[in-house]
Every structure is written in C-alpha cells, then in structure tokens.
Amino acid sequence: MAGPTALVSALHEELAAVLGLMPDEQQQVFGGRSFWRGHLHGHDVVAVLSGIGKVAAATTATALIERFGVQRIVFTGVAGGLAPGVRVGDVVVARQFLQHDMDASPIFPRHEVPGYGRSTFDADTALTDELVRASEQVLRELPATLGLDVTKAFGLDAPRCHQGLLLSGDRFVSTTAESTTLRTVLPDALAVEMEGAAVAQVCHDYGVPLGVLRTISDRADDAAHVDFPHFLREVASRYSGAIVEALLRQK
Ligand code: ADE
C-alpha cells in the first residue's frame, strides 16, 4: 500500500488511546495542527486532531492528502444517537454522509451540495467492512473490561454496531426539539456529529477512501451536554483505541 493510513479524531480524548499505541511517533506541526507520523501494528500511520466542525475537518483532510499523501482516512470519535435503537455505548459505522445544515434552497434542493448534484457522499465499502468487523469484535470484548461502575453508569448493556447514514453539521445538537426535527426531516439518519460529511466531500474530490466510526456518547437531546464530557473521559478514547487496533491487526 502506498502512503500512510490517516487516523483522525476531533478531540484529544478521542485520539489519546491511538497515540498511546504508537511506539515511535514524531510530531510535525503544519497549518496550526500537530501531525504524529509513526507506526501502529506495522502500518505506516499519521495521526492528527482535526479540531471541531466541518471547516477544521475539511482543512485537516486536505492537508493529510496533499502534504502526507495518505492512501486512506479513518476517522473515529463520538456522535449523538438519532435513530430509535441507537443507544449510548453503541457504535455507528457510516455508509453515507450528509451535511444536515447545508441549505442553498430555493436555488438548490435542501441538503444538496451545490456543484455536486447530490446530498450524500459514500464511505469506502471495503474499509467500512473492515471497520464493522473490528467494531463487532471490540464490542464483544470491551464493555466487560471497562469495569462495572462505568458499564452501569452508561447502561452499556449488549452494545450494538449500526451501519448507515451519518449526519454532520456545525452544531452540537443538545435539545430534544432539534433531534426530533432531524429525525423527522431525515428519517434514515442513525447519528449526528460535526465532521464526517465534510471529510467525505474532500475524500470524494481526491478519490481517497474514507471510513468513519462513531461511538454514541449521548442521544442528542436535552441531556446531551451532561452525558457528553463524562462519556468522552471514561469510554470514548478506549473504544477508539481498541477498534483502530483491531482494524490494523486485520492485515
Ligand atoms: N458529537 C457527540 N454528540 C453530539 C451531538 N449531540 N451533536 C453533535 N455532535 C456530537
């Protein structure tokens, strides 16, 4: 495989476990971001914090492709669950992405990205299949290793892996009214976050394979702001690390 694998998260807590698995990382600062070049299970990797939101994610993806020549991008982190069965502690692996705050109507249909004639972008099928296999393996094992207090506090009972539509927008969705609206307008959506669809648009432009995996930290409702920091601290980082490790062990 030519070029490194990019491992990206929006927040430090989400990337911490991945960095902890890299024995030889070298930091390079570029465009106001730290990129860590090194290895993980024999794979050439570059890990980076994108920062939060669509612009930060898009510029990071562009730098990874242009500056580091990455041959694929794997984005891990957390998301708010939208679909009824998508619970805190479950994992969502994206098959499609949509920017829920894209609205150039009435010039273009709502959610359509102007110039592209489409509102959704696809994840890479083969990479996403690998992410699903890695997630299912980790979900079978990890909740038991987190400790009873943590699993009880978050109700991490038989967590599931879902695959489908992931929404992104420059909003932390933290009211039941807003998540209800999103569910009504976009009934296929599994979860909502703030970066994936922006990276997907860049990867589409450059023809670079993308896989995105999100652990559900909250239900994007009135309690989201309470659940989110606690979950990030206690669970998210360990999930990201374990799933990326399982992914890179596959080959
Ligand atoms: N990431 C995690 N939870 C989220 C939420 N409720 N809205 C947007 N991004 C999120």
Identity of the residue numbered 251: K
Mean pLDDT of 35-54: 95
Confidence (pTM): 0.94
If you measure from the C-alpha of residue 95 to the centroid of ligand 1, how many angstroms do you get, rounded to a whole number? 18
Round to whole Å and give the CA distance between 52 and 226. 18
Token couple for 198: 């922006």
Q: How far is the CA of 44 from the centre of ligand 1 (A)?
A: 30
Protein residue whose Cα sits closest to atom 6 of ligand 1: 220
* pLDDT for res 107: 96
pLDDT in tens, 119-167: 999 999 999 999 999 999 998 887 677 666 667 666 667 889 999 999 9
**Mutation choice for ligand 1 from 82, 182, 194, CB with most ligand atoms inside 8 A:** 194
Tell me the range of 18-27, 62-71, 156-165, 242-251 where mean pLDDT is highest. 62-71
Residue of 185 and 249 predicted with greater confidence: 185
Q: 167 CA distance to ligand 1 centroid (A)?
A: 10
pLDDT of amino acid 114: 97
Catalytic residue from among 112, 218, 221, 227: 218
* 168, 172, 180, best to mutate for ligand 1 pocket (most atoms within 8 Å of CB): 172
Query: What is the pLDDT of the chain when averaged over all its residues?
Result: 92
Please state, as a whole number, how many other Cβ atoms lie within 10 Å of the Cβ of residue 148: 8
C-alpha span between 179 and 129 (Å, rounded)? 28
Note if 14 is an active site residue. yes
Quickly list DSSP for 9-71. Answer: ESSHHHHHHHHHT-TT-EEEEETTEEEEEEEETTEEEEEEE--SSHHHHHHHHHHHHHHH--S
Go through the chain and tell me how many residues it has. Answer: 251
Q: What distance in angstroms lies between residue 73's CA and the mean position of ligand 1's atoms?
A: 21
DSSP 113: B
Per-residue confidence (pLDDT) for residue 148, from 0 to 100: 62
120 CA distance to ligand 1 middle (Å): 19
21 by DSSP, 3-state: which? coil
Give the pLDDT score at 233.
74
* Set 13, 14, 178, 195: catalytic member: 14
Q: What pLDDT score does 72 carry?
A: 98
**pLDDT at 6 exceeding the cut of 70:** yes
Pocket of ligand 1 (CB under 6 A): 78-80, 172-174, 192-194, 217-218, 220, 224, 228
Closest CA to 101 of 163, 155, 167: 167
Residue nearest to atom 9 of ligand 1 (CA): 193
Calpha distance 134→140 (Å, rounded): 10
Quote the pLDDT of residue 73. 98
Question: pLDDT class for 117, splitting at 50, 70, 90?
Answer: very high
Pocket test for ligand 1, best of 13, 86, 182, 192 (most atoms within 8 A of CB): 192
Residue 101 is a catalytic residue: no
**Spatial CA neighbour of 213 closest among 74, 86, 55, 88:** 74
**pLDDT per residue as tens digits for the range 193-243:** 999 999 999 999 999 999 999 999 899 998 877 777 777 777 887 888 889
What single-letter DSSP state applies at residue 123?
Answer: P
**Tell me, what's the pLDDT at 155?**
66
Domains by residue range for the chain, with CATH: 77-249 (3.40.50.1580)
- Contact in structure between 241 and 134 (CB atoms under 8 Å): no
| Token output for 24 | 């030889």
Taking CA atoms, 51 is separated from 13, 63, 95, 242, in Å, by: 12, 13, 23, 21
Residue 17: predicted pLDDT: 85
